[in-house]
Amino acid sequence: MQANTSVIGVLGMMAALALQAAPNAPVLNDVADLSAQGEAVAILPTGSLHGDEVPADAAGNWLALVREGNGTTVHPVNISLVPEQDMMDEDGEETGRRVGVEPPLEPIVLVRGLGWFTGPVTTALMDERIDVAHTLEVRLNTVSSRLSVRCGEGSRVEGQRQQRCTLVVQSEAVRQALFTYSAYFEGTQRLWASDNGPFVLWAGDLDLDGRLDLLLDTSDHENVKEMRLFLSSAAKPGQLVSEVALFRQVGC
């Protein structure tokens, strides 16, 4: 699948960012329609997790979305769950689970439930913060989408100013709210309840339908890591994408 992908950030001026489109078509093996397949889409990070954060049936075959240069490639991997001592465990307990992959890779995310395919996937952007009152234009194939954040005032907490800030995606006449983040103020400085605030971990065409998919960091606390996967192939009428998977990880 050939694509000419570029990202244009509208930050008072237009600046082109060179990103890599998939140079070769993915190898397709039983890529299923999400509306018809039985297995739910799931996402998972690698590394050490609390035992109750890992699905009991997680061991086995997954797809790993891996950064390679300016683009990304999907690799088939086998997940292992290794018992280990959690920070809250008593001596002798091993309730934690370390998620490992074979072959050893460093995925952006592990995914299952999309059917089975391998190879490069069209990538629009990675690791991009979306600033309040600015717009990021993402061009995938011939379709342009815009990501923006708009904030509204919330109720003060102990006299401190609060805001609710919604990340929105828009393409042509369709405008869709994706997630609402919490922010607060110290003086005139806006601070996010999490470290990142509105943040795109990855954007591109993961379900191979030629339209934009999004992996977002939706963490809402400094001690929480959360990501959500939105796919265009799961979108309902009037939507551009639909959330298909969520993973939430708590620190201690």
Question: How many separate domains does the chain show?
Answer: 1
Residue 136 counted as domain residue? yes
What pLDDT does residue 24 have? 63
Residue 182 counted as domain residue? yes
* DSSP codes joined into one string, the chain: -----EEEEESSSEEEEE-PPPSS--EEES---TTT-SSPPEEE--EEE-GGGS-TT-SEEEEEEEEETTEEEEEEEEEEEEEE--TTPPTT---EEEEEEES---EEEEEESS-EEEEEE-EEEEEEE--BT-EEEEEETTEEEEEEEEEEE---BTTB-EEEEEEEEEETTEEEEEEEEEEEEETTEEEESSSSSSEEEEEE-SSSSSS-EEEEE---STTEEEEEEEEGGGPPTT-S-EEEEEEEEE--
Residue 242 counted as domain residue? yes
CB 104 within 8 A of CB 88: no
Residue 131 counted as domain residue? yes
Domain that holds residue 56: 6-250
The strands making up 213-217's β-sheet, listed across from edge to edge, are 123-129, 199-204, 213-217, 224-231, 242-250
Residue 190 counted as domain residue? yes
pLDDT tens sequence across 183-193: 999 999 999 98
Residue 1 counted as domain residue? no
What pLDDT does residue 19 have? 46
User: Which parts of the chain register pLDDT below 50?
Assistant: 1-21, 30-36
CB 175 within 8 A of CB 83: no
Residue 193 counted as domain residue? yes
Residue 201 counted as domain residue? yes
What pTM does this model have?
Answer: 0.85
